[in-house]
Amino acid sequence: MTILLTGVAGFIGSHLTEHLLALGHTIIGLDNFDTQYNPDRKRLNVRSFTDHPNFCFIEGDIRDQMALTDLLRRSACDTVVHLAARTGVRDSVHEPALCIDVNVNGTLSLLEAMKKTNTRRLVMASSSSVYGNSTVVPFREEDDANRPLSPYAMSKRSAEMLAHTYHHLYGFDVACLRFFTVYGPRQRPEMAISRFTEKMYEGQPITLYGDGSTSRNYTYIHDTVLGIVRAMNHLKGFDLLNIGGSAPISLRDLVKLIERAVGKKAVIDWQPNQPGDVVQTSADLQRARSRIGYLPSVPIEEGIHRFVRWYQQSLFY
C-alpha cells in the first residue's frame, strides 16, 4: 500500500512507520513538528527511516487543505492513517481553541482533501477519553460517548462524527481507533510513565493527583501498532474500535511497578484531582477482537520493564 501518515514524527506515528516500512509499504509522512513538546525529539524519532527508499517526509500542516489535496493527487495514496493531533487532556483545558482547530478543523481539511482526490480509506486515532467518566466498565464502543470532560475528548468525538459523515455521504471506509493510554520507548515526555521514570532517576518528587486509586488501561506501543495495521487490513464500512491493553491498573500500583524497574523508591507529592481527568479507563476488546482479530500481548509488567530499559539508553535524558 501507499499510505499518507499524518503525525509521522510523533510517538505512535514513528513506531508505526518503522513497522509499515518493514512490511514493504510506501509511506508519505506528514508532520508540522508542532511545539507542544520539544520538536527535537520528533526529529530524532524520524531519524531511523528518513533515508529509507520507501519513505518520503513532508513538513506541513493538516489544516492546509490545498497542500493536502495536492499531496494526495501527486502521491497516489490508497490509504490515510491520521494520527496528527494536539494531544493531552490538560493542555486542551488551557488552550481549547488550538485543540479544536487542529483536531476538528484539521480532520475536516483532511477529509475534504480525500474527497477531492477520491481517496476513500481512512484509519484514524481517537481516544478512550471520549467515554468521559462513565462508570459502566469495561467501556464498550456502543456506550454513550457524548459527555466529554475536556476539549480534547470533545475534539476526538467530533472527529469521529465527521469521519462518519464522510462515510455516509461519500462511501469512505473508516476505522476510528480509540487508543487507551499508550506507552513505550519515545512516549511523549509529559505522559505519566515518562514523567515518573525521569523524576525517580533524578531523585525528585513525583506529583500524583487524587488518592492513587484512579486506574488506566495502559497499552504497550507494540500492541497499538498491531491494532492499527490490523484495522488497515480489515478496513470496510465504518467502525469504532477500542485498542487497549489487557487490564487496567491503579496509579498506586503503576508507581510500584516503575519503582521496581528503576530500582528506586518514589518520593510522592500528593495533589487534588485535576479538572478534565477521568477516574478510570477500561477497554472492552471484544469488538476489536471479532472485527480485526486484535489481542494485546504485552503485559504491563513487561512493558514497563522494556520502557525503563530504553529510557536508560535514551539520548534525551
Instruction: Catalytic residue, from 37, 152, 218, 294: name it.
Output: 152
Q: Does the active-site annotation cover 183?
A: no
Number of H helices, E strands in the chain: 12, 13
CB contact at 8 A, 56 and 33: no
- Asked if 9 interacts with ligand NAD (CB under 6 A), we say yes
Neighbours of 142 (CB within 10 A): 9
Q: Quote the least distance from Cβ 203 to ligand NAD, whole Å.
A: 27
**Binding to ligand NAD (CB under 6 A): which residues in 181-200?**
181-182, 188
Which residue has cell 514497563?
Answer: 304
Q: Which is nearer to ligand NAD, 34 or 141 (CB)?
A: 34
Q: Which is nearer to ligand NAD, 43 or 265 (CB)?
A: 43
Q: Considering CB under 6 A, how many residues would be counted as binding ligand NAD?
A: 29
Cα separation, 113 vs 100, in Å, equals 19
- Choose which of 25, 42, 121, 167 interacts with ligand NAD (CB under 6 A): 42
Chain length of the chain: 317
Q: Select the residue interacting with ligand NAD from 11, 131, 220, 294 (CB under 6 A).
A: 11
Instruction: Measure the CA–CA gap between 242 and 127, rounded to whole angstroms.
Output: 8
> What is the rounded CA–CA span in Å between residue 126 and residue 218?
15
**Residue 88 grid coordinates:** 493531552
* Residue whose CB is less far from ligand NAD, 94 or 265: 94
Residue 174 is a binding residue for ligand NAD (CB under 6 A): no
User: Interface mask (CB under 6 A) for ligand NAD, residues 76-95, using x and -?
Assistant: -------xxxxx--------
Helix (H, G, I), strand (E, B), or coil: what is residue 215?
A: strand
Q: Which is nearer to ligand NAD, 62 or 226 (CB)?
A: 62
Q: Tell me 273's DSSP state.
A: P
Output DSSP code: residue 58: E
Q: Any contact of residue 252 with ligand NAD (CB under 6 A)?
A: no
Q: Which of 63, 234, 287, 306 binds ligand NAD (CB under 6 A)?
A: 63
Establish if 29 lies at the interface with ligand NAD (CB under 6 A): no
| Interaction of residue 167 with ligand NAD, rule CB under 6 A | no
Of 33, 209, 238, 310, the one binding ligand NAD by CB under 6 A: 33
What are phi and psi for residue 226, nearest 5 degrees? -65, -35
245 residue type, one letter: G
Instruction: Give the residue with the Cβ less far from ligand NAD, 209 or 264.
Output: 209
Going through 65-224 in order, the beta strands assigned E by DSSP cover: 79-82, 121-127, 173-179, 182-183, 206-209, 215-216, 219-220
With CB atoms as reference, the residue minimizing the distance to ligand NAD is 10
- Residue 26: strand, helix, or coil: strand
By CB under 6 A, residue 62 contacts ligand NAD: yes
Cβ closest to ligand NAD, residue 111 vs residue 267: 111
Contacts of 265 (CB under 8 A, 6+ apart): 259
Q: Does 220 bind ligand NAD (CB under 6 A)?
A: no
Q: Is 281 in contact with 95 (CB distance < 8 Å)?
A: no
Q: Are 75 and 28 in contact (CB under 8 A)?
A: yes
Smallest distance from ligand NAD to CB 116, Å:
18
Residues at the site binding ligand NAD, with contacts judged by CB under 6 A? 6-7, 9-13, 30-34, 42, 61-63, 83-87, 102, 106, 125, 127, 179, 181-182, 188
Task: Tell me the catalytic residues.
Answer: 152
